[in-house]
Chain A
Amino acid sequence: MSDTVKNLNEMMGKLKDVGELFKFGERMVPVVENFISFMSDFIPIIEEVNGSIEETRSKIPEASKQINNVTNATELAITEVLDVVDKINDEIHNIDDCLSDMIASRHSVEELVEQLSTEIKGNAKAEEILQEMLNKIDVSLELEMMKNRLKNIITSTDQITMSLQVQDITAQQLAAVNHLIISVQHKLSSLLAVFNLADEETFAKDNLDMPGTHFDANASYNKSTNDQDLVDSVISGEKASQDDIDKLFS
């Protein structure tokens, strides 16, 4: 076979390849068209996502401010309740002092009555009147009862004081939420910088300062004594092991 025929054969092979390529191209056209159509639908979605991220991010400072407002308002209200509890406790102590004075003066009256009954011994009528008078003015039982009722009121105000500790617990929970949403704001700013191909600092400049983590995110209002029981058992366990160590060195 001459070189010319060989070259022609080779060229025919290449032309076949080109033909195949065109056929493949034809098949690819609808795929590319679909892809372009998909992209043109997708861009507005991305823009929408971008807009909603920006909107969420811009609302965070207000949400954070509101959380702080709740904490401050609760603290103020609880301080007012504590003021009232203080006044009630002061009044209770005043009343308790008065009752103690009344009980003391009742004892001195009893002593005088004792003396008087010696003086009037033998005078049956006078003794009868004195006894009746004593029965009528005897309020010792009522005084004791009033003292007990005051104790009950003090127990109730103690319970109020215990319940008001919820403020410290909710304040810590809110501080944890605040910390979380501010960190979300910082993350969204970084994300927006990627989407908008803009400087991250532009987005970060209105970020809230990251608050400290001086809260117990797990703080819970639990009036059962389980937590304190655990503390006491850990303390006695630790103490026992410390005692064992001390013994070894003694």
Chain B
Amino acid sequence: MSRKFLIVDDSNTMRRIVVNTLKSLGYNEYVEAEDGKVALEKLNADSAINFVITDWNMPVMTGLELTKAIRANERTKELPILMVTTRGVKEDIVQALQARVSNYVVKPFTPQILKEKIDLVLSN
């Protein structure tokens, strides 16, 4: 099955780093969004997207709000969502899990960690 990623982060640098990491893992299909609202628009416009990698802290709509919106939509509720964020305290992790993210990566991450988590999410 081909993978098309939606990479959501307000930092250009981070989007670029995630894209580079995905390419090095052999995933070449992706779209980018700078906040949760744009992400939802892209998700609604492109049914080929089947994996979301999202930051938490973003203007307009946060990654947590995006996760809740994706889970609340019948068409997208089962979509794999990987939260990639600087927030590493337990309360945040629990909050993200309660919003039903599929997994969670703390920045800065190594390409190996990202690969590991993507594989883990896809294997479940």
- Measured CB to CB, the residues of A under 8 A from B are 75, 78-79, 82, 85-86, 89, 158, 161-169, 171-172, 212, 214-216, 218-223, 227-228, 230-231, 234-235, 238
- Judge if B40 is at the interface, Cβ distance under 8 Å: no
Decide if A162 touches B110 in the complex (CB within 8 Å): yes
Decide if A231 touches B104 in the complex (CB within 8 Å): yes
Bits for B52-96, please: 1 = Cβ < 8 Å to A, else 0.
000011111010000000000000000000000111111001100
Chain B residues whose CB sits within 8 angstroms of the CB of A230 once the complex forms: 88, 90, 93
- Measured CB to CB, the residues of B under 8 A from A are 9-14, 16-17, 20-21, 24, 56-60, 62, 85-90, 93-94, 97, 103-111, 113
Closest Cβ of chain B to A69, distance in Å, is: 16
16 CB < 8 A contacts A-B: A79-B13, A82-B13, A82-B17, A82-B20, A89-B24, A158-B110, A165-B14, A165-B17, A165-B107, A214-B59, A216-B57, A219-B87, A222-B108, A227-B106, A228-B88, A231-B88
Q: Give the interface centre of A171, A214, A219 by most chain B CB atoms within 10 Å.
A: A214
Decide if A75 touches B86 in the complex (CB within 8 Å): no
Decide if A214 touches B58 in the complex (CB within 8 Å): yes
Chain B residues whose CB sits within 8 angstroms of the CB of A89 once the complex forms: 20, 24
Chain A residues whose CB sits within 8 angstroms of the CB of B12 once the complex forms: 75, 79
A115 to B109, CA, bound (A): 52
Known: A231-B88, A235-B104. A86 touches B20 (CB 8 A): yes
Closest Cβ of chain A to B107, distance in Å, is: 5
Decide if B16 touches A79 in the complex (CB within 8 Å): yes
Chain A residues whose CB sits within 8 angstroms of the CB of B93 once the complex forms: 230-231, 234-235
Decide if A214 touches B88 in the complex (CB within 8 Å): no
Chain A residues whose CB sits within 8 angstroms of the CB of B113 once the complex forms: 228
CB nearest neighbor in B for A83: B16
Closest Cβ of chain A to B26, distance in Å, is: 12
Q: Give the interface centre of B20, B104, B107 by most chain A CB atoms within 10 Å.
A: B107
Decide if A168 touches B106 in the complex (CB within 8 Å): no
